[in-house]
Amino acid sequence: MTTAVIRIQPRLTVTRRTENGDEPREHVGVPVTIYLLSGWLQQRYPGLDPLSHDAGHLWWTLTGQHGNPHLGVLHLLSNLVIFAGFILLSSAWRVLYRAQRRHQLATTGIYARIRHPQYVGFIAIMFGFLLQWPTILTIAMFPLLVWMYVRLAHAEERDALREFGREYEAYAARTPRWIPHREGSAEPTAHPRA
């Protein structure tokens, strides 16, 4: 998630010896959500160690799952959503970078399917992390960040309309903002090259 993770430092000190006998110390923070919920979690799940890494996977714990939470369906699905978000973001930035260098409207690649693929990518990444590691802060911040990206997209559209005029109007008329048209649901149109 693009939000900062607030941690209480240091609550747990892990000591391990290196090959030469030194004892480096590592400080492992406890996410605030786990800290705040630890009393309730320990009452409801008596065997749970709230300082363990796995306790941070709240969906896994709350649904009574056992084993490695990293191999659960929800965790694997969230990894796919995060990966897809990064792929979308990467492909969008390549197209946008080329278009900006040429002082043209970005209308090729993923921009031929949706107008704001970079924000859809960011939202997918945030949603994937929210599924994987929900915290009080991320649950509160997710809708706020989505709202901010929507506002930013609208502001960018106003700027693009001022800069590119009718070319942007035509592009906006044929290209949806967030969710691409299903194949065959929209009339195919020729897109100007950027």
pLDDT value for 51 = 62
List, in sequence order, every beta strand (DSSP E) within the chain.
7-15, 25-31
- The residue among 110, 81, 128 whose CA lies nearest residue 178 is 110
d(CA 135, CA 105): 39
Residue 157's SS3 state is helix
pLDDT value for 19 = 57
d(CA 136, CA 37): 10
H or E stretch including 138?
Answer: helix 136-164
Residue 105 contacts residue 167 (beta carbons within 8 Å) = yes
Which residues of the chain are modeled with pLDDT < 70? Answer: 1-35, 37-38, 40-42, 45-56, 183-194
pLDDT value for 147 = 97
13 forms beta bridges with 27
Q: Quick count: other Cβ atoms within 10 Å of Cβ 37? A: 19
Q: Compute CA distances 167 → 4, 33, 88, 125, 171, whole Å.
A: 39, 48, 24, 31, 6
pTM for the model stands at: 0.68
pLDDT value for 191 = 40
Q: Compute CA distances 98 → 29, 94, 116, whole Å.
A: 42, 6, 16
pLDDT value for 31 = 62
Residue 12's SS3 state is strand
d(CA 194, CA 180): 19
Residue 12 sits at the vertex; the CA angle it makes with 8 and 14, to the nearest 5 degrees, is 140
pLDDT value for 120 = 97
30 forms beta bridges with 8
pLDDT value for 140 = 86
pLDDT value for 167 = 96
pLDDT 10s digits, 55-73:
667 777 777 777 787 788 8
